[in-house]
Every structure is written in C-alpha cells, then in structure tokens.
C-alpha cells in the first residue's frame, strides 16, 4: 500500500514517524511522510519520501504558551492562517498518491481529506488527546486536574466546540473539497460511533491506557526515530565527555524561541551552583557559553547523547521525554504548554526525577536544586533504569504495521 503519514508540528512531532515509516517500509509498503519543510532532512535521511507542507508552527509556540503577547484577533488570525496552510498542504500531499492516511494529532484536517478522497485513515498520535477522567485535556492550557468529571467534560468540549479559527479552517476546507457542511460535534460523534482507530506512540508503562477510553483507542508503545546513517559524534563533544565526570543535559526544545540568552544564563548559573558539568542545547546562546565545564551542541541524536548523561533537563515534549526514558537516566521536566505538563508530571510520578519546574517559573535556584537531587539521589537512577528496561522490551510499531496490513488485505 501507499502509506502517507502526516506529521504536523515541530521536530519532535516528526522524528518518531521516521521510525514508524521505516517499519512500514520494511513490511513492504511505499511510505511517504508529509511535514513542514525544515524537517525534510529527517525524512530523507531515513530513506523515506518527503512531501512538504507549508506553514511554520514555531512562531505560534510562544503565543500558545503565553510567553508572547498578541491581541485576540491577531492571535486568531495567526492560528487560522497556519491551519489553512497546513490543510492545503495535506490536500496536496494526498493528491500525490496515497492508499491510506496516518494522521498525527495536529493533522485533524486529514480526516476531512480522507473522507473527500474516500481513503481509510488511522490516527497515530504522540499525545493522548481523547477525553478521559484520568488527566486534564492536553489540548488546552490545563496544567492541573479538574477532577474526573471535569477532565472528561473539558476535553469533550474542546473536541466539539473548538476555537473559531480552527472551526473556520475546517469549514473552508470541507467547502473546497466539495463535502457537505458539518459541525465539530458531528465529526466527533462520527469518530466515536465508527470507532475510528487511533494508535498512541508511547508506552503504557509511562502512561497507562485510561479505562474509560472507548474501543479503538490503543496505546501501542514508542516509535523510535531513525538515526541518520553514517552519523558520527563531533570530536569536540567526545573530548568533552571524556574529560570529566558525566555531565547533565539541558535543552529547551522549540519552546525557547524567545529569551534564549536569558534562559541559557539561568542554566549556566544553575550548573555553577550545583557544581555540575553541562551539555547545553539551547540554540546559539549555548554555543557562545562554552567553557571548561560547559559545551554547547547543535543537532545531536538524543538516543546517542542521553545515555552518556548524569541527568537530562528538557521541555518535556513527547519525543524528548521518550528519549530520556529510553536512556534510563534521571529527568527534570520544564513544561510550558499542552502535553508537556502531562509528561513532566509522569516523570515525577514514576519516580525517575524530582518534580517539574514550569518553564515560566524557571530560576537558577530552582533548577540547581533539581539538578542536585537528580544526580545525587540514586533512587531516581535506579527507577529510571527499571523503566527503560520495560520500555525497551516493547515493539510499538507492530500494532500499526498490522493495522495497515489488514487494510491491504
């Protein structure tokens, strides 16, 4: 079959699908991944076809996290423009040929495209966006539980009454595709009654499948990104790692698109207070901050780097959280928005690191204390190693490969 994976979002929303796509290719399918242009090299390096989708989600992240101010009308226009560009890109990618669409959570427009083109579709989500009482909805700005009833009700509301910008984009898309008008509530009801299948690319050992989920919502296990063939670590990094005790990793992912200098200074001050060596992946500011005990790095595969760390500090995006868990090292989450709060809280609940520090509350003192605890408390490392062993024994891609195989007949 011609399998088209839609991976909207930033790097962490794309990389896991290179591993999933490679498994589907090895099972005999033709696989393409549609994503934003900056991540085309990830797809190409994995030997899969890349189809570009216009738009850039990076400018939206500070707005979504509340770190950048925007008037409500301007904010709505930003998200609506991104939604239209992404939807058009999904249409164009599908028109280049596909027998089945695999859609990540942000690619909800693909559901309408599949309907218009009469293609089967499957959800392949990295985040648990379906309503449950177990935790607050990850689609909204909820960092604390609303209680079981409140959690489920809030998530259902976000599905059935989305923002005007999102609803408008879906309405325009259906009109362009020649589909009858519908409502978000009707689309959600159709997904529920048809038991639209969704596989979640994370481990049940990290977040158990909610008992109140309907049939068809499955937790498959992690999809590990493919590493670029022939990649070699920079000599400078190898020298740094060999020159002293294992350092800690500090990275902010895509969330620190503003105030990079300030956040890097906080990280440096925390490392000095905790008397620890550090590897920083915080953009250009980290490269300028190099010294005897600190090294700035650019794009280094986390599956290679993290096992060599004493601990990892990150924004708790789904992909980075997974890499830290797989490495079996203590972790500190710095959540800013959406599902990051959930993954950061799970790290603490599972006992693989001290409590999370919300990104907007980050300070040198709080980070130094967390680093010191993560490195000195052997319980964190023991629990992290145990969790890594359970996760590593899983085959997260298998369920998706089997589902696509059933469609192929």
For 2-127+161-222+394-408, which CATH class?
alpha beta
pLDDT tens, residue by residue, 256-293: 555 677 888 999 999 999 999 999 987 655 555 677 89
Question: pTM for the full model?
Answer: 0.92
pLDDT tens, residue by residue, 28-77: 999 999 999 999 999 999 999 999 999 887 777 666 555 555 666 777 77
32 DSSP β-pair partners:
4, 49
| Measured distance CA(92)–CA(175) in Å, rounded | 16
Residue 45, both tokens: 């390096």
Q: Which fold has domain 235-392?
A: Rossmann fold (3.40.50)
C-alpha 167 chain-centroid distance: 23
Q: Where are the domains of the chain?
A: 2-127+161-222+394-408, 235-392
Give how far Cα 36 sits from Cα of 5, 8, 55, 58, 136, Å. Answer: 12, 7, 7, 11, 29
pLDDT tens, residue by residue, 352-376: 999 899 988 899 999 999 999 999 9
pLDDT tens, residue by residue, 188-220: 999 999 999 999 999 999 999 999 999 999 999
pLDDT tens, residue by residue, 279-328: 998 765 555 567 789 999 888 999 999 999 999 999 999 999 999 999 99
| Measured distance CA(48)–CA(20) in Å, rounded | 11
| Measured distance CA(85)–CA(319) in Å, rounded | 24
| Measured distance CA(182)–CA(2) in Å, rounded | 29
Residue 109, both tokens: 């427009």
Contact indicator for 222, 326 with CB cutoff of 8 Å: yes
> Quick one: which of 164, 200, 199, 198 has its CA closest to 184?
164
| Amino acid 337: pLDDT | 82
Helices (H), ranges, 7-71:
11-26, 40-45, 60-65
Domains 2-127+161-222+394-408 and 235-392 share a fold: yes
DSSP line for 371-408: HHHHHH-HHHHHHHHHHHHHHHT--TTHHHHHHHHHHH
pLDDT mean over 106-125: 95
pLDDT mean over 86-113: 95
Contact indicator for 233, 227 with CB cutoff of 8 Å: no
């Amino acid at each position: 079959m011609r399998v088209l994976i839609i991976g909207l979002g930033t790097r962490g929303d794309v990389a896991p699908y290179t591993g999933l796509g490679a498994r589907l290719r090895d099972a005999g399918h033709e696989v393409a991944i549609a994503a934003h242009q900056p991540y085309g090299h990830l797809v190409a390096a994995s030997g899969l076809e890349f189809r570009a989708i216009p738009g850039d989600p990076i400018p939206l992240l500070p707005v979504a996290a509340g770190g950048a101010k925007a008037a409500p009308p301007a904010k709505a226009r930003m998200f609506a423009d991104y939604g239209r560009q992404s939807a058009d890109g999904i249409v164009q990618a599908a028109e280049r040929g596909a027998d089945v669409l695999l859609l990540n959570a942000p690619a909800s427009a693909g559901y309408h495209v599949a309907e218009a083109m009469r293609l089967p579709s499957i959800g392949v989500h990295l985040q648990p966006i379906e309503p449950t009482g177990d935790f607050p909805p990850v689609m909204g700005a909820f960092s604390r539980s609303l209680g079981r009833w409140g959690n489920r009700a809030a998530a259902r509301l976000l599905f059935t009454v989305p923002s005007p910008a999102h609803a408008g984009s879906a309405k325009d898309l259906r009109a362009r595709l020649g589909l009858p008008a519908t409502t978000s509530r009707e689309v959600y009801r159709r997904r529920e009654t048809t038991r639209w299948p969704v596989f979640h690319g994370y481990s049940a050992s990290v977040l158990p499948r909610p008992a109140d989920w309907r049939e068809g919502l499955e937790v498959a296990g992690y999809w590990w990104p493919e590493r670029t063939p022939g990649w070699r670590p920079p000599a400078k990094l190898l020298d740094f790692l060999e020159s002293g005790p294992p350092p800690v990793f500090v990275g902010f992912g895509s969330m620190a698109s503003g105030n990079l200098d300030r956040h890097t200074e906080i990280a440096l001050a925390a490392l000095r207070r905790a008397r620890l060596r550090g590897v920083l992946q915080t953009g250009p500011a980290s490269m300028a901050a190099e010294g005897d005990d600190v090294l700035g790095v650019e794009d280094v595969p986390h599956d290679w780097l993290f096992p060599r760390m004493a601990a990892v500090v990150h924004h708790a995006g789904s992909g980075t959280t997974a890499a830290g868990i797989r490495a079996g090292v203590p972790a500190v989450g710095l959540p800013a928005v959406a599902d990051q709060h959930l993954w950061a809280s799970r790290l603490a609940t599972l006992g693989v690191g001290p409590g999370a520090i919300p990104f907007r509350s980050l300070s040198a003192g709080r980070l130094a204390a967390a680093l010191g605890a993560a490195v000195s408390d052997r319980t964190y490392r023991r629990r992290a190693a145990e969790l890594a062993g359970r996760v590593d024994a899983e085959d997260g891609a298998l369920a998706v490969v089997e589902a696509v195989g059933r469609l192929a007949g």
